[in-house]
Structure 1
Amino acid sequence: MYLDENFENRSEDVQEILGTPPHWLLNWGTVLALVAFCLLAWLSFWVEYPDIVKDSIRITFQDPPVRFHAQEGNYIDRVLVRDNQRVETGQALMVFRTSANFNHVMSLADRMKNLPNEEDTTLANFSLDTVFILGELQEDLYNFFQKQSEYQQARMRRFESSDVATLQRQIGTAENAIDLRKANQSRNADLIDQHTTDLLTAEYQYKLGKVSLSEVTALRNKIATLQEEQQGLDAAIRDRQFEIASIRTRINSVQQGSMMSRSETSSEMVDAYLKLKLRLEAFLKKNILVAPFDGTVQIIGRNITSGQFVQEGDELLVVLPKGERQLIGEMQIPFTESGKVRTRQKVVIRVNGYPYTEYGSVIGEVSWKSKVTKKVDNKVVVPIEVRLPQPLVTHTNKSILSEEELSGEARIITAERRFIERIIGSPRVFRR
């Protein structure tokens, strides 16, 4: 019993000793804790943690390349350039197959472009020195020449009844020429049918290995030559028909003793010319690819050769601008976060395909912010442009290849906030 009481008394003494911290620990521990707290507070005041607006970025050249796609399914008539060839503004690159002669169309375009003005006196003297095969433009050209003839007649007013017989003889000569050309057309049509049948047979025999490719090609060339002759004959017939219509108009004018006024015919002639000009521009835009500026052309489509059929939307060519080009970044930031973004703010960019741990980040600067929003994929966004280093170099001094288009993630640093502000809020709250 005595031992138990003695043990309990000693246990209480031991517990009291163990439960009482040393005096030095109380003094120095409190001091150390206070110093640690002050140090953390001091560091949190000086350490800054930025506010950012994060979104994707598209990096491209300020003068982007122009890509050409097929507007509709059609055959390529000819490719006029080589891959990586230098081209000049307005140079023809590719021609699609039409019923028109490419050289004739381009010659007409050059002649119309070189006219000093579009006044009636200038248009009255506009002429072509040969028969042009213009396909769907042929009717517009004939209509212009018809109005031109009417204007010339109204301007001259020198008709006599004795001229009617001469004009009728001219009609007879023109009709004989038409009959001759129609006979040639009929003969050519028979030859085309015959050669087409021979071509089908030759192509079948070529697959069996009985004839050579040169024989098949020769037949194709014969058919192409005959078809071109047919187009020339058709254009010549149309010219003669136009001539006959013009002569008959003159005969009617002499017989009736009345003609349209000079101002009326002038107006109609100018209108016909402008219609021809608009139709020609639309034809060129649809069927002939033209370089929009000086630069280098690259053939990006597959099997882009003469005679190749392309589907609507197929990629064909791309023209790269000449000289040094500036890279820019394009962003579409959400409207809800756009208020914090200002020009000259720092932008940190991680480029896709160039790992951040190996290459680092590209440092840019907000150079432009749109004042107008737009809708993209049902989201309201604000367009932003970012100025980039030229050439493209990361903060670790590693180069990034200037490809035609890059993408990545961009962080716009809108403010540098102290770490303590993020914990306890802005000091303004306490000042209030």
Structure 2
Amino acid sequence: MEQDTNIELRSESVQEILGKMPSWIVRVGSGLVFLVVLILVIGSWFFSYPEIISSKLVLTTENPPAELIARVNGKIIDLKVSDNQLIEAGDLLAVIENPANSQDVFSLRKQLNNQIPQFDGKNEMTPEFVDKNYRLGEVQAPFNAYLKACTDYSRFVDLQYHEKKKASLIQKRSNYRMYYNRQYKQRNILEKELAIVYKEFHRDSLLYTRGVISKANYQQSEKEYLQQSYAFHGSRSTLSSTQIQINEVDQSIIDLDLDEENKRKELLDQILHAYDNLTAQIDIWEQNYLLKSPITGAVSFNRFWSANQNVKQGEKVFTVLPSDSTRIIVRVDLGMNRSGKVQLGQRVNIKLNNYPYMEFGMLEGSIRSISEVPDGDNYSLDVELTNGLITSYGKELKFAQKIEGVAEIITEDQRLLQRIFNPLKALLKEHVVK
């Protein structure tokens, strides 16, 4: 029993010793913790690393290939080329089934190109330059309108209504002028007769005042004078009336010329308007049913094509690979998120889907240009390859158009300490503003 009590007393002593922490241990421990924190803070200041922004990319050439896409559903009724055939810009590759006869539309286009230089209003426009039996499908209605406009102008020219009426007015004016000249001569005669009668009347007036002649003789002389004066002034009025008629004919000729000019201009405007509508409809027809190459290069079939094979609207039919561009570039679609960190000249690691980077390595490049305005939610970047198609493993990759992959854009280095404090700084400013 005494032994158990001693054990219990010792246990309390031990507990007292253990319950009191020595001061030197506290000082040493605090110092070590402070030292570790200080080392971490200093290390985070000197340690910096970049941020990597990943985006989708497409490998292409500076002059990208042209894709020809079907605008309508239908069968290929005329296949003009074979796979990998060299073609020129503007070459016809295929014709898609449509209500029109393609050769008729081609012939019409050619004749229209030859016809338009004559639209100067001087040459006679006739509708005989076209075949009225054309089968034009969607182009038929504007073609008929153009044909009618040409026919209306041709009838206007053949009828010569204004020319004939003008000739009639000119003849009428000539007759009036002849009549005026005769009246003018009569007026001169009447003027001379009036002068003679006036002298006789003046003489008789003097004789009458002297009582030499009777009043009846005087009145007869006065009557003759008044009659001659009336005839003279009537002649002058007739001359004025004839001159007015001549002026009216002149005005009619001017109005007729103006009406002819306006009518001719109106008909020519109708021809030009109908021509523009017709050529525009032919352009639409060509866009819908013809597949033409916009560039010079080699045509590549996106699948095996043959005549009478159906194509769907929006389906990619051909791809034309340009022959005048060998410079390879990378097109990158950069999303809005973190796009402000991307700058010209930054390094880009390029991983292609066709070539696993762990086996073939990565391509290296640098940002050459950044679009000023986004396309939808993405900016467009052009990346120039630093070593061409030679990877980081020293392997040269085979180029193919439209290879897709991932671009890893290496942004500027940022200190670890800044990355730690930036969120705290933003949070603090947000609460201060509130």
TM interval, shorter chain, is 0.5 to 0.7
Partner of 1:265: 267
Equivalents in 2 of 1:129, 1:327: separation in Å? 50
Give the aligned length.
Answer: 320
Q: Post-superposition shift, 1:405?
A: 1.4
Which piece of structure 1 moves more, 139-148 or 71-80? 139-148
Aligned pair partner of 2:288 in 275, 286, 289? 286
Partner of 1:77: 77
Equivalents in 2 of 1:146, 1:423: separation in Å? 80
* Residue 398 (structure 1) aligned with residue 395 (structure 2): yes
Superimposed CA distance per residue, residues 354-405 of structure 1 (whole angstroms, 9 cap, x where no aligned partner): 2222222222222223333454xxxxx3403132227322233322332211
Superimposed CA distance per residue, residues 323-356 of structure 1 (whole angstroms, 9 cap, x where no aligned partner): 2243222122233x12222111222222223222
Q: Are the structure 2 counterparts of residues 131 and 382 from structure 1 closer, same or farther at C-alpha, using a change threshold of 3 Å?
A: closer
Partner of 2:144: 142
Pairing 1:83-98 to 2, within 5 Å after superposition: 83-98=83-98
Partner of 1:417: 414
- TM normalised by structure 2 equals 0.58
Superimposed CA distance per residue, residues 406-430 of structure 1 (whole angstroms, 9 cap, x where no aligned partner): 222222222123567667889x9xx
SS of 1:415's equivalent?
coil
Q: Are the structure 2 counterparts of residues 338 and 312 from structure 1 closer, same or farther at C-alpha, using a change threshold of 3 Å?
A: closer
Equivalents in 2 of 1:145, 1:372: separation in Å? 48
Amino acid at match of 2:382: V
Equivalents in 1 of 2:418, 2:69: separation in Å? 55
Q: Are the structure 2 counterparts of residues 40 and 400 from structure 1 closer, same or farther at C-alpha, using a change threshold of 3 Å?
A: farther
Partner of 2:276: 274
Pairing 1:287-366 to 2, within 5 Å after superposition: 287-302=289-304, 304-323=305-324, 324-335=326-337, 337-366=338-367
SS of 1:109's equivalent?
helix
Q: Are the structure 2 counterparts of residues 344 and 294 from structure 1 closer, same or farther at C-alpha, using a change threshold of 3 Å?
A: same
Equivalents in 2 of 1:157, 1:123: separation in Å? 12
Pairing 1:173-188 to 2, within 5 Å after superposition: none
Superimposed CA distance per residue, residues 84-113 of structure 1 (whole angstroms, 9 cap, x where no aligned partner): 111111111101233433233223223334
Equivalents in 2 of 1:120, 1:392: separation in Å? 62
Equivalents in 2 of 1:123, 1:342: separation in Å? 65
Amino acid at match of 1:383: Y
Q: Post-superposition shift, 1:291?
A: 1.0
List runs of 5+ in structure 2 lacking aligned partners: 1-35, 162-259, 426-434
Partner of 2:379: 383
Equivalents in 1 of 2:361, 2:418: separation in Å? 28
Query: Is the 1:57–1:330 Cα contact (8 Å) retained in structure 2?
Result: yes
Equivalents in 2 of 1:286, 1:154: separation in Å? 37
List runs of 5+ in structure 1 lacking aligned partners: 1-35, 160-257, 376-380
Equivalents in 2 of 1:269, 1:413: separation in Å? 63
Equivalents in 1 of 2:367, 2:124: separation in Å? 54
SS of 2:129's equivalent?
coil
Partner of 1:10: none
Which piece of structure 1 moves more, 273-282 or 323-332? 323-332
Structure with bigger gyration radius: 2
Q: Are the structure 2 counterparts of residues 259 and 43 from structure 1 closer, same or farther at C-alpha, using a change threshold of 3 Å?
A: closer
Equivalents in 2 of 1:143, 1:328: separation in Å? 51
Q: Are the structure 2 counterparts of residues 425 and 263 from structure 1 closer, same or farther at C-alpha, using a change threshold of 3 Å?
A: closer
Equivalents in 2 of 1:260, 1:283: separation in Å? 34
Superimposed CA distance per residue, residues 259-312 of structure 1 (whole angstroms, 9 cap, x where no aligned partner): 99222221211111111111111111111111111111122234x222223333
Q: CA-atom RMSD, angstroms?
A: 4.8
Percent identity, aligned pairs only, is 24
Equivalents in 1 of 2:159, 2:394: separation in Å? 82
Q: Are the structure 2 counterparts of residues 424 and 310 from structure 1 closer, same or farther at C-alpha, using a change threshold of 3 Å?
A: closer
Pairing 1:361-372 to 2, within 5 Å after superposition: 361-372=362-373
Query: Is the 1:366–1:384 Cα contact (8 Å) retained in structure 2?
Result: no
Partner of 1:232: none
Q: Are the structure 2 counterparts of residues 307 and 407 from structure 1 closer, same or farther at C-alpha, using a change threshold of 3 Å?
A: closer
SS of 2:71's equivalent?
coil
Q: Are the structure 2 counterparts of residues 307 and 392 from structure 1 closer, same or farther at C-alpha, using a change threshold of 3 Å?
A: same
Equivalents in 1 of 2:156, 2:422: separation in Å? 89
Equivalents in 2 of 1:140, 1:420: separation in Å? 74
